[in-house]
Amino acid sequence: MGLLETIQGPEDLKALPAERLPALAAEVRDFLVAAVSRTGGHLGPNLGVVELTIGLHRVFDSPRDRLVFDTGHQSYVHKLLTGRQDFSRLREAGGLSGYPARAESEHDVVENSHASTSLSWADGLAKAFELRGETDRRVVAVIGDGALTGGMAWEALNNIAAANRPVIVVVNDNERSYAPTIGGMASHLATLRTTREYEKLMDWGKRSLGRGGVPGRLAYETLHGMKRGIKDIVAPQGLFEDLGLKYVGPVDGHDTDAVEHALRRARSFGGPVIVHVITQKGRGYQPALADDADHFHAVGVIDPETGEAQATSGASWTSVFADEVVEIAATRRDVVGITAAMRIPVGLEKFAQAFPERVFDVGIAEQHALTSAAGMAAGGLHPVVAVYATFLNRAFDQLLLDVALHRAGVTLVLDRAGVTGPDGPSHHGVWDLAMCRLVPGLRLAAPRDAPTLREELREAVAVEDAPTVVRYSKGKVPAPIPAIARVGHADVLEGPAWATGDDVLLVAVGSLVPRALDVAARLRAHGVGVTVVDPRWVVPVDEALVDLALGHRHVAVLEDGCEVGGFGWALAARLRERHCLTPVHVFALPQEFLDVGERGAILDEAGLAPQDVARAIVEAVAQGSGQQVRSSEDPEDAASPTSGVPRSEEFPSR
């Protein structure tokens, strides 16, 4: 039995002799590489915090002392040390979450995996403990230097420093978030790291003094006399101390004794303290250290020996955007890119390589990104702000009042829109459609394939007097889906209704178009006439699409956002305004937090499986018409969209 298997909780860890800790750390790293290479997940961040997490659980008494992990992508070691060592279904339905999860363990506090929040959580917990008279409880927030680029972290520090509550802020400094940390805070921490060089000089002087001799004594006395000046230059920890925070560090985050000693000092202070721990992302895994560490921040299934990713086929939505935005930038010098610490994941790396002076990484600061973009637009540029759809939630006020109110020509590109899958409720991008619909003047497009993504991106950056949004899902782009006609801004994919007397107008948003075509084939197999339309631009609702809906007995909408405030909701409202009684059947996501799971399975469970949608529409048509719908076979067994369903010839090919 290995050491790791004997650790079922923090008490087992505390009982382990200190000299066994390096061996335990090595076992943890071996476990992580083997497990995460099979399932995918956040590998680099966890390899970097092994000794730090061991130290936290040896010094503090979780769950009575509360450990809050910022973002939470470095919590795998925490899970292992608190009795959760079955990683066989990591980030899958029924398995361990990739982030802290309160349903899994009493040791998990915060499961929101958005960055820069941990210090506010810690401040709130400390205030609660104080008011309840639980003054012996400590709160520890583990925050990376990347997350410290977020303004919310500094709002919290301002409050933490103003009180004398026992809050320990552990800064896990590995010089990067997903990518290298940028900005003034990064420069400050880089300067603090040079303290170690100062300490080396002092140690050399002391050793020389111990051996005797004038050179050693002179060296030590000179360094000691210069102590204040040197520290002011190479270790300006005053930034923290001037706020009222004690400062401990920098500490070698891979020295178990040093980490534990620093944490015990911090615990003994009884007030707010910063512990500055320097770690190495990807520690102990040669592929992560030999290559760009950013590629090992989060991995899919990889070869554990080489770190090479499992081969995949087909282009991703992100890669199509990455290529197209570079082509646009080559012809338009006013187009610039903005990313919030995720240049590679959102597809701006090629843009940055081609035009390095025109791509701006603002750190984990989506609010700043949007208002800075508004300023750029006011200065004559056209910013393209690329973020995950879930992170747009953090900058709604800036989108509304800084961008839209000022009619700024800013294009937002929302990656990972809709259901994302393995990262769970905080990463599903399901709120953007409803949220953006509230913004006056905003226009939002949802491409269905690579050609429409390229087309709609160019249309978006051509708008100079309002914000535009292009959203797409995670994963591979489907094969091109040609249109047979364009009505207004919408593409007719199957139909049309008024030439054939079809029953249903089936409207599909973006990535759900392939499902809609599947549904249409099932409906036709049951004698239900159907026209399939991709609205392309879903905010605002196109009046031509409203006119098209007026000619149908039923309208059905498939979308991968929340039902309330979504496209179907808006289309139904427009039809009511036109005094149209045509029923609108909306197939969207429920108003709830969706759990971890495979994207297709989550959509199916939400009622968006093609057979379920087809069955519901068949029943609605039958009830509405009073006619018997042919039911020789269940919609579940009906033909697929590739079964040769004829198209109307009324619309010429484009």
Mark the binding-site residues for Mg(2+), compressed into ranges.
145, 174
Q: Which residue has the tokens 């178990």?
A: 256
**Pairwise CA distance, residues 47 & 57, whole Å:** 17
- 366 catalytically annotated: yes
**Pairwise CA distance, residues 424 & 112, whole Å:** 10
Helix, strand or coil, per DSSP, at residue 37? helix
**Pairwise CA distance, residues 449 & 452, whole Å:** 6
**Pairwise CA distance, residues 604 & 220, whole Å:** 71
- 458 catalytically annotated: no
> Do 278 and 172 form a contact (C-beta atoms < 8 A)?
no
Binding residues: 73, 113-115, 145-147, 174, 285, 366
Q: Of these residues, 84, 137, 267, 394, which one is catalytic?
A: 394
Q: Of these residues, 91, 281, 474, 515, which one is catalytic?
A: 281
Q: What is the arrangement of strands in the sheet containing 530-534, beginning at the earlier edge strand? A: 485-487, 490-494, 530-534, 504-508, 554-562, 584-589
Closest CA to 122 of 156, 98, 152, 90: 156
Q: Of these residues, 366, 459, 494, 563, which one is catalytic?
A: 366
Q: Report CA-CA distances (Å) from 572 to 496, 512, 523, 566.
A: 20, 19, 22, 10
Beta strands 246-252; 273-278: pairing state: parallel
- Any idea of the CA torsion for 322, 325, 327, 331, to the nearest 10 degrees? -160
- 605 catalytically annotated: no
Closest CA to 391 of 357, 372, 363: 363
Token readout for 539 is 């905010």
**Pairwise CA distance, residues 294 & 342, whole Å:** 10
Closest CA to 517 of 484, 538, 493: 493
**Pairwise CA distance, residues 476 & 319, whole Å:** 9
> Do 99 and 72 form a contact (C-beta atoms < 8 A)?
yes
The strand pairing partners of 554, in sequence order, are: 504
Which phi and psi angles does 276 have, rounded to 5°? -95, 105
Binding residues for thiamine diphosphate: 73, 113-115, 146-147, 174, 285, 366
The string of DSSP letters for 408-469 reads: ---EEEEESBB---TT-TTT-B-SHHHHHTTSTT-EEE--SSHHHHHHHHHHHHT--SS-EE
The string of DSSP letters for 574-642 reads: HHHHTT----EEEEEE-SS---S--HHHHHIIIII-HHHHHHHHHHHHHHHH-PPPP-SS-GGGSPPTT
Token readout for 385 is 């702000």
Q: 3-state DSSP: the chain helix, strand, coil percent, rounded to 5? A: 45, 15, 40
Q: Which residues are catalytic?
A: 281, 366, 394
